[in-house]
Amino acid sequence: MSLKSVFLSALRSITLPAVPLQTSRIHTSACWRKAEDRKEMLASLPAKDEGTVGEKTVDIDTLINRKAKFFPDASTATTLFNGTPFNELPICNIRVSPNNTIISVTDHKGVLRLIRSCGIEGFKNTRKGTNIAAQATAVTISGKAIELGWKTVRVKVRGLGPGRMSAIKGLQMGGLNIVSITDNTHVSFNPPRPRKQRSL
């Protein structure tokens, strides 16, 4: 006899004591409800994408012509935004580093009017370099800029860090209308040598 047949015969010989039906209370409604909820959830999911079925063709030339107004040209400097020419709009400079985010607002001539940083906002140590700190700083400085009467601004971003996009989003949340975003990050074509590999 094999081990499997011995095991099966031993299982058959085991008799369980009879349990009276009045004392056993089995609740199965929760299990059925979970199954029904899962079925409803699966039924509400969108249909699977069938790949190339219903694929759309896009004419690139018309798309570029339609978006041509977003690119600067010779007349951009005199274009009016809320009644102000583009070259007379105030400039919001965002200086981003891995450890901090500094936001300053200047007039069109470059004269500094407002400045805030994550440290001034009350964030300390490593929290200064987070995207939440950058967003909070941007919301505060946008409120101060609106008090000065500036509603439409240009944005110049410089540096790399977690607060780049969050600061721009914070300016929008604060109520400023952003007309253009310029990236002024310095690119070094002769960077310093990296440190030699650590020997373990």
**HEC secondary structure over 82-129:** CCEEHHHCCEEEEEECCCCEEEEEECCCCCEEEEEEHHHHCCCHHHHH
pLDDT for res 157: 95
- % residues pLDDT > 90 (the chain): 39
pLDDT digits (tens, 9 = 90+) for 18-73: 555 554 455 555 445 556 677 777 777 666 655 545 556 667 677 777 666 677 77
More confident residue, 12 or 163: 163
Rounded Cα distance, 181 and 113, in Å: 19
Rounded Cα distance, 125 and 110, in Å: 30
Rounded Cα distance, 196 and 7, in Å: 65
- The DSSP secondary-structure symbol of 52 reads T
CATH of region 88-183: 3.30.420.80
CA distances to 77, 103, 178 from 88, in Å? 8, 19, 14
Q: Are 144 and 176 in contact (CB under 8 A)?
A: no
Q: Is the pTM of this model over 0.75?
A: no
Query: What average pLDDT does this structure show over 91-111?
Result: 93
Domain ranges, ordered by start, for the chain: 88-183
pLDDT digits (tens, 9 = 90+) for 88-100: 899 999 999 999 9
- Helices 131-147 and 164-173, interaxial angle, to 10°? 40
Which tokens belong to 45? Answer: 């999911």
Return the closest-CA partner of residue 94 out of 190, 183, 194, 17.
Answer: 183
Rounded Cα distance, 159 and 95, in Å: 6
Cβ neighbors of 113 (< 8 A, separation 6 or more) are 90, 105, 106, 107, 148
> End-to-end distance of the chain based on CA atoms, in angstroms?
60
Residue 155 has pLDDT above 90, yes or no: yes
Confidence of residue 102 (pLDDT cuts 50, 70, 90): very high
More confident residue, 3 or 94: 94
